[in-house]
Structure 1
Amino acid sequence: MYSRDLNRQGLFTSKGEKKEFIITKLHHSLMRMGSYTTKMHKNDFFQIIYITGGTGIQYIDLQAYEVKQGDVIFLNTWQQHSWSYNSTTQGYILSFSPSFITQFVSDHLFVHNLPYFKRFTSHHLLELKYELSEWIQDTMDRMHKEYETENGEYLNLVRAYLLEILLLCEKEIDKAESSNSNHAKSNELVKAFEALIDKHFYEYRFPKEYAKVLLVTPNYLNALCQKIKNKSAGDMIRDRILIECKRLLIHTNLSASEIAYQLNFKDNSYFSRFFKKHIGIAPDEFRRK
């Protein structure tokens, strides 16, 4: 069985033998250290801290992160870090060198290229959803049990557990980034639609005309508007026309017929019906009020 003594600068057994991988229960490590806090330091190995209970504060490059059950903390080799935990804090500490995994995968930069271990990463902390949190804890329990009882014969099984955790965390981050990216793209498209409405509402009255300019289908444009603005694409066009109707009625002396002509309605009668349907009163009455 490997010793679980963890040196802050490297991975060593109690006999001074350097190892490529160590897993310890967080509470046991804190007890051996005799302190719930550490000073800022750097390691020459990668580290994952998984919180299974309690709370605490993790400091990474002077930034403080409040941690709780289900949180995963990632520490690479160039970050200054420390922690301030307490008697309630439970979890696991996984410490490993990249070579421990690259014996299992062909890419020698595999660990360095994971989104949470890149040099300028912003993914220091991952909050797991309940289902994935349960899965990760179960995998760590199995890894720890195997690590405690093995004699080196089944290290590949430990590697497989670690690889599973690394990839599941990467997948979760990629899903979040993809969702954010798609949301940002959707927002940009709706903003472009609003800009086009503002420019062309005099002439374009139907979503399909805008969709053609935006190179999307009318149904897709409508779905995005419903999702982001809570109204249909047609409603957004109509609302912009109504705003202009009100502006002209309030701030000009143009007659209802002249406004209808300026806004490209086919006649005054149609304009009046349109206005009354959506505002509740006729254009002339709106102006008087």
Structure 2
Amino acid sequence: MRKNAGAIPVNNFGSESDGGIAIERISFESLPDLGEWEQPERHDRHSFFLLEKGSVTMEIDFQQYLVNAPSIIYMHPDQVHRILTFENVIVNAWAANNENLNPEYLVLLEDIAPAIPMPLNHQMFVLFTEAISLCIKLAEREKDPLYHSILKDQTNVLTGLIISLYRALRTPSEDTLSRPEVVTKAFKEALGLHFVSCKRPAEYAQKLNLSTAYLNECVKNSTGHSVSYHIQQRVVLEAKRLLHHSKQSLKEIAATLGYDDYAYFSRLFTKVSGVAPVTFRNKNPD
């Protein structure tokens, strides 16, 4: 498969006129081949899929998943994914940008990302099918006076159902977070937003109004790893995405990730991943 000439492509899930919400029911039964569906990409918004029929093999951030119907799939905008195979697929797909999602839901979505595909029992499948069917019908009523508000509310209903589904897998103790766990959660949210510009633990401590020592203590107690470890892991994950899915040079990737010193970036990548950047790229051709 060819690489993209620049950075990882971002799929504009809907259109410029859709108000940041898109929903459709798609059949892959008639497609002769994968074509552009096989290209690695990110989406420009949070995207959700109800696999109603068939099976799909997907690669999400270097991890392969065989997804059989009925299943729910959630994609965070950061995640790079592609379809490897499919068979007799019917899927309901919907997506929304941050502006259209309940702020509380945005926080909870970050908490479950990256999410893995989740199989549905019959009861949940029927519930999602009915909710999506209503949402699709509402999406067709563009001339209604409150069209966007109604569609936004229904999209949040679907999003809330998915979040509830993932959170149902949590143990009771996970719903009552300790102070170190609260701090660690806040740090991970900040890391997702600022990993390109902030590379030092002290920068995150300042953003969270904490001492560096206390932040590191909380994160290490909660995860077993230091703040620096998590920063490096997040940077290297993004580097792997770019090495694998783009034709950017190694120096361009280093610069994209906030490193002017390519030699330092290369040593960091090698230390964290166990292989040099050029070796990783050569071992993982598209």
Give the aligned length.
166
Alignment correspondent of 2:64: 64
1:37-63 Cα distance to aligned partner (Å, 9 max, x none): 421111221110110001111211011
Q: Which amino acid aligns with 1:20?
A: G
Indicate whether 1:124 and 2:126 are aligned: no
Report the identity percentage: 11
Query: For the structure 1 residues 174 and 90, does the alpha-carbon distance in structure 2 shift closer, same or farther, using more than 3 Å as the test?
Result: same
Hey, what's the Cα distance between the residues in 1 that align with 2:56 and 2:24? Answer: 18
Q: Which has the higher contact order (CA 8 A, sep 6+)?
A: 2
Hey, what's the Cα distance between the residues in 1 that align with 2:52 and 2:154? Answer: 17
Hey, what's the Cα distance between the residues in 1 that align with 2:127 and 2:31? Answer: 27
Query: For the structure 1 residues 32 and 24, does the alpha-carbon distance in structure 2 shift closer, same or farther, using more than 3 Å as the test?
Result: farther
Hey, what's the Cα distance between the residues in 2 that align with 1:119 and 1:33? Answer: 35
Indicate whether 1:74 and 2:74 are aligned: yes
Hey, what's the Cα distance between the residues in 1 that align with 2:106 and 2:34? Answer: 32
Determine if contact 2:28/2:89 at 8 Å carries over to the other structure. no
Hey, what's the Cα distance between the residues in 2 that align with 1:164 and 1:12? Answer: 19
Larger radius of gyration: 1
Shift of 1:134: 0.6
Paired residue secondary structure (2:140): helix
Q: Which amino acid aligns with 1:113?
A: V
Hey, what's the Cα distance between the residues in 1 that align with 2:33 and 2:26? Answer: 11
Alignment correspondent of 2:11: 9
Q: Which amino acid aligns with 2:140?
A: E
Alignment correspondent of 2:93: 93
Shift of 1:28: 6.7
1:120-163 Cα distance to aligned partner (Å, 9 max, x none): 73422222221111100111011112112333632222222221
Shift of 1:68: 1.5
Alignment correspondent of 1:39: 39
Query: For the structure 1 residues 53 and 179, does the alpha-carbon distance in structure 2 shift closer, same or farther, using more than 3 Å as the test?
Result: farther
**Structure 2 unaligned spans of 5+:** 1-8, 176-286
Query: For the structure 1 residues 12 and 73, does the alpha-carbon distance in structure 2 shift closer, same or farther, using more than 3 Å as the test?
Result: closer
Alignment correspondent of 1:166: 159
Map residues 104-183 of structure 1 onto 2, 5 A cutoff. 105=102, 107=103, 110-114=104-108, 117-118=109-110, 121-151=113-143, 153=145, 154-178=147-171
- Tell me which protein shows more strand as a share of its residues: 2
Query: For the structure 1 residues 180 and 73, does the alpha-carbon distance in structure 2 shift closer, same or farther, using more than 3 Å as the test?
Result: farther
Map residues 219-258 of structure 1 onto 2, 5 A cutoff. none
Paired residue secondary structure (1:177): coil
Alignment correspondent of 2:50: 50
Hey, what's the Cα distance between the residues in 2 that align with 1:20 and 1:43? Answer: 12
Q: TM-score, normalised by structure 2?
A: 0.50
Query: For the structure 1 residues 148 and 170, does the alpha-carbon distance in structure 2 shift closer, same or farther, using more than 3 Å as the test?
Result: same
Q: TM-score, normalised by structure 1?
A: 0.50
Hey, what's the Cα distance between the residues in 2 that align with 1:175 and 1:52? Answer: 21
Paired residue secondary structure (2:106): coil
